[in-house]
A and B are shown apart, each in its own frame.
Chain A
Amino acid sequence: MHIPDGYLSPATCAVMYAAAAPFWYTASRKVKEVLTSKTVPLLSIFAAFSFTIMMFNAPVPDGTTAHAVGGTLMAIILGPWAATIGVSIALLIQAIFFGDGGILAFGANCFNMAVVLPLVGYFVYRAISGDTPLTSARHWIGAAIGGYVGINAAALCAAIEFGIQPVLFHAADGTPLYCPYGLSAAIPAMMLAHLTVAGLAEGVVSGGVVAFLQRAMPSLMELRKVEEALP
């Protein structure tokens, strides 16, 4: 889902930076309230986890590949705003050092994977887990379904960004200047990859790690509750 440079017009890239900016701003303010010297190492760990889990490309039936992001998991443990910061950092390092995702497209990639993904995933998780005790199965089930829904919401956003390009930006003779595939090609392709493979991967990662932490490190699961109690 890392949109490279050249697929989106510079104008689209500017709009997507503008769309991500208020979320970065809010995240930096919210994180200031909840992050303590004790949770900074955890932000680092989960951001590094997100970076690495994105390297696990899985095959999609149409011959392409897709991967999990780990953003929902970070949102469940540290809160959705910390996840926005954490995934954005992972995407920044990927773009600058590894050429995975563009520099101009960084705003769009952050909007999709660092904003939409953790926020949607988190709200689905909260809707399912509700006020049940932290040992309840509804936490890992909510994490799994939240991960699945979150990454698919992000993929849909990316598909729309790709898909509007040929309509909006083409040469005088109609030849597309940037992404040549319209909505009718981009949406089915992106959704096939994410409704099947990447959604499953994100669901297993979120649900699996939460189930593990519920048993092995329940104190981590309580972090966010502490944060929510703060004014």
Chain B
Amino acid sequence: MKGINKLWIALVVLALLSPLGLLASGTAWGEWGADEFSAMLGYVPQGLARLAGLWSAPLPDYTILGLGDVPGYILSAFIGMALVVLCAWGLGRLLARAQ
């Protein structure tokens, strides 16, 4: 398809600009960690405390161990996009009509 390369380039630019998303301080509503609950409520809801640590992501909150916030965020964007593309391409090929 013509011009599709432009879209890939747009994705690279978007990833490089992603640290703009770090400018907003604060957490999204309903996405606070257990520590933030202690500060806000004075307690951590029991079930929440039990389930919150269920899964430990390798790159929590788009950070990469040993890298600063900004380079970590950019590299996270590239790693994430690569994984999404891999996944979507694989599933897409699997589902696509044989042509």
B-contacting residues of A (Cβ < 8 Å)?
1-7, 9-10, 28, 31-33, 35-45, 47-53, 55-60, 62-67, 85-86, 89-90, 92-100, 102-104, 158, 162, 169, 171, 175-181, 186, 189-190, 193, 216-217, 219
Classify the interface of chain B: helix, strand, loop or mixed.
helix
Q: How far is the CA of A28 from the CA of B22 in the complex (A)?
A: 35
* 20 interchain pairs, CB-CB under 8 A: A2-B28, A31-B92, A37-B96, A41-B89, A44-B84, A44-B92, A45-B85, A52-B77, A53-B14, A55-B62, A55-B77, A57-B21, A65-B28, A67-B28, A85-B88, A89-B91, A97-B79, A175-B46, A178-B48, A180-B37
Chain B hits for A98, CB < 8 A: 57, 59-62, 76, 80
A217 touches B3 (CB 8 A): yes
Number of chain B interface residues as a range: 35 or more
B14-31 vs A, Cβ < 8 Å mask (1 yes, 0 no): 110110111111111111
Which of A52, A94, A104, A162 has a CB less than 8 Å from the CB of B51? Answer: A104
Q: Which 4 A-B pairs have the closest CB atoms?
A: A99-B57, A177-B47, A40-B92, A6-B48
Q: Which residues of B contact A (CB under 8 A)?
A: 1-4, 6-8, 10-11, 14-15, 17-18, 20-31, 33-34, 37, 41, 43, 45-52, 54-62, 73, 76-77, 79-81, 83-85, 87-89, 91-93, 95-97, 99
> How far is it, in angstroms, between the C-alpha of A121 and the C-alpha of B84 when the chains are bound?
22
Q: Is the CB of B83 within 8 A of A97?
A: yes
Tell me the bound Cα distance from A37 to B99 in angstroms: 7
Residues of B within 8 A of A217 (CB): 2-3, 6
Return chain A residues, CB-CB under 8 Å to B80. Answer: 48, 51-52, 93-94, 97-98
